[in-house]
Amino acid sequence: DDLQIHAVRIRASIPLVIVNVYACNGRIDASRWQGIFEQDESNILFCGDFNARGQQWGNIITNRQGKELEDTLVPTDLVCLN
């Protein structure tokens, strides 16, 4: 598959979900990213290798994967840390 996802739920006084994403070939479109990021969790951390290059997180070049990811993140409350 072109996308691998693993998630761990940490049950504590402040619960946390950690989601690790590996986009293997850089061909994930915005609708698939939206499906991943539209989780009903208040404390969630997405991390991984998105194979996305974008100016929003310091790259000089923006590739297709980066554009799709940037477009998906704009309407969310998610913040990209690189």
Which tens digits make up the pLDDT trace of 1-53? 788 999 999 999 999 999 999 998 767 888 888 888 888 778 999 999 998 99
Do 30 and 72 contact (CB within 8 A), yes or no?
yes
- Rounded CA-CA distance 53/30 in Å is 15
* Cα–Cα nearest to 37, from 82, 66, 78, 81: 78
- Tokens in use for 32? 């698939």
**Domain boundaries defined on the chain:** 3-73
Q: What is the pLDDT of residue 40?
A: 77
